[in-house]
Amino acid sequence: MSNMFDQTMTASSLSFSVPTLANSVQYAASNPDASQPGTPSDIGRIETDPAGPEVAARRNGETTPGQLYLKEARSRFRYYQYLTVQAIQQVDDEGFFYARGKDSNSIAIIVKHLIGNMRSRFTDFLTSDGEKPDRNRDDEFERFVRDTRERLEIALEHAWELVIDTVDEITEEMLTETVYIRSQPLSVLEAINRQLTHYSYHVGQIVYLAKQACGDDWKSLSIPKGRSDEFNREMMR
């Protein structure tokens, strides 16, 4: 079987590091004044527009249900990418590869599965079955010698770029078109929803495992304990 990661890497990309992954997130690029992860202003900027999603959408000329849906889908994918990068950035190599038992998955294995799924689902999204014939899903849950942390991080960055670039190209008119996953027909909207829920499930696992690995050193990616009132005041200003 061909190496899925070799197809996404170049010689120059091997110099990337975890901070480079964080810098690639569009959120960080478009919000240079954002606070550190876990602060109320940071969380608020990622998740919502202070004026509300409908007002924010109208500001950008997005007023129809399809346009509003695509805006939210794009925002969610970017947010899940942000959470993934910020969680991985906090763990050392031991935490990255640690699995509680033989039937448990490490952060590394979940990352590997996300990469395989993203490449399969979003390569030629509109024109080919989302389960590509060269995908070996079972191998995604095994660690091989080639599966170093650096290679997985680089491949994950490219996989997120593929997802986000593909969804950015989807128009409102395309949402009712038919695509296939394992020969089963879905509308484009259904296929996007399917991947949003799938990725949120695994990103949640990554965040949980990273938090357990970091212990007291964990920097919250949500509203920290005891700071809900501060968060609410920030959002309501």
7 is a domain residue: no
Structural domain contains residue 18: no
**pLDDT exceeds cutoff 90 at 176:** yes
Question: Does some domain include residue 132?
Answer: yes
Domain count, the chain: 1
Does 111 map to a domain? yes
Burial class (CB in 10 A: 0-12, 13-18, 19+), 227: middle
- pLDDT value of residue 124: 98
Is the model's pLDDT at 13 over the cut of 90?
A: no
Across residues 187-208, what is the average pLDDT? 98
Q: Are 135 and 94 in contact (CB under 8 A)?
A: no
CATH for 41? 1.20.120.450
Q: What is the pLDDT of residues 76-129, one digit of tens each?
A: 999 999 999 999 999 999 999 999 998 999 999 999 999 999 999 999 999 999
The crossing angle, in degrees rounded to 10, of helices 65-89 and 188-214 is: 20
Q: Is residue 21 part of a domain?
A: no
| CB 21, CB 90: distance < 8 Å | no
The pTM of the full predicted model, rounded to 2 decimals, is 0.77
Asked whether residue 211 carries a pLDDT value surpassing 70, the answer given is: yes
Structural domain boundaries enclosing 206: 31-235
124 belongs to a structural domain? yes
Position 102 in a domain: yes
Would 94 be classed as within a structural domain? Answer: yes
Residue 1: which pLDDT band, with cuts at 50, 70 and 90?
very low
With a cut of 70, say whether residue 7 has pLDDT above it. Answer: no
